[in-house]
Amino acid sequence: MVAVAILTVCVSLLSSTISSTVAHTAVRRERTLALVAAKNVLEDMHKADFGQLFALYNHEPADDPQGESTAPGPHFEVPGLTARAGDSDGFVGEIVFSTPAPPLLENAQDSRLGLPRDLDGDHVVDGEDHSTDYIVLPVSLRLEWASRAGDGVLELTTMFADLSKP
């Protein structure tokens, strides 16, 4: 009886180890998918005209450069990942600027994006709209998905800049 009990405990320990290893592998795979998707979106943003980045990827469809609702917008899907059940937009990924729509403010309070900071290179942090004259553009990519091990989150923050001489 004792031997059977010990054997049962051992087998259950072994099987729980295997199942947690499999779950860990799945979570790692999900994170890799999220990271690759985020990098691809950043590369798409690199391809776009720098001066139009904010207009292309903000929440405001009216300022899209090619006409209303023609730009990719702030949300993106990630193949292989599913948005969380209660997600408001139903997408895994979102591109976050200091302000979601014009005006683009450099005095916004967002330490994650390094704001407030001078966005138009005039050495002054003011409360004006800089959606058309920024020379640096802090941006964050936030990905949230339903994972096998709870909710998965990945956030990448970077800054686009156009500092070339006129």
Partner 1 sequence: MKTTRVPAAARARAGFTILELVIGLVILGLLLANVGMVLRSSTAAFEAGALSGALENQLEQTMDRIELAIMSSDGEDLAPSAPLSASIIDYERCLGVEDGELVLDDPERIELVLGSGQVVWTQNPEAAGERRVVWTRWVPEYLELELPNGADDNDNGVIDEGGLAFDLDGKQVSIRLTLEREDERSTRYARTRESRVTCRN
Interface residues with partner 1 (CB under 8 A) are: 4, 7, 11, 14-15, 18, 21-22, 25, 29, 32, 36, 39-40, 43-44, 46-47
Supply the minimum distance, in Å, between the C-beta of residue 79 and partner 1: 9
Phi-psi region of 155 (alpha: psi -120 to 50; beta: other; left: phi over 0): beta
Taking the least distance from each CB to partner 1, the nearer of 43 and 166 is 43
Taking the least distance from each CB to partner 1, the nearer of 44 and 133 is 44
Supply the minimum distance, in Å, between the C-beta of residue 101 and partner 1: 26
**Would you say 34 and 92 are in contact if contact means Cβ atoms under 8 Å apart?**
yes
Supply the minimum distance, in Å, between the C-beta of residue 96 and partner 1: 21
**Would you say 77 and 89 are in contact if contact means Cβ atoms under 8 Å apart?**
no
Supply the minimum distance, in Å, between the C-beta of residue 90 and partner 1: 22
Taking the least distance from each CB to partner 1, the nearer of 24 and 112 is 24
Q: Measured at the alpha carbon of residue 78, what is the angle toward residues 146 and 89, in degrees to the nearest 5?
A: 65
Taking the least distance from each CB to partner 1, the nearer of 105 and 154 is 154
Nearest of 117, 44, 59 to residue 89 by alpha carbon: 59
**Would you say 41 and 139 are in contact if contact means Cβ atoms under 8 Å apart?**
no
Is residue 157 helix, strand or coil?
strand
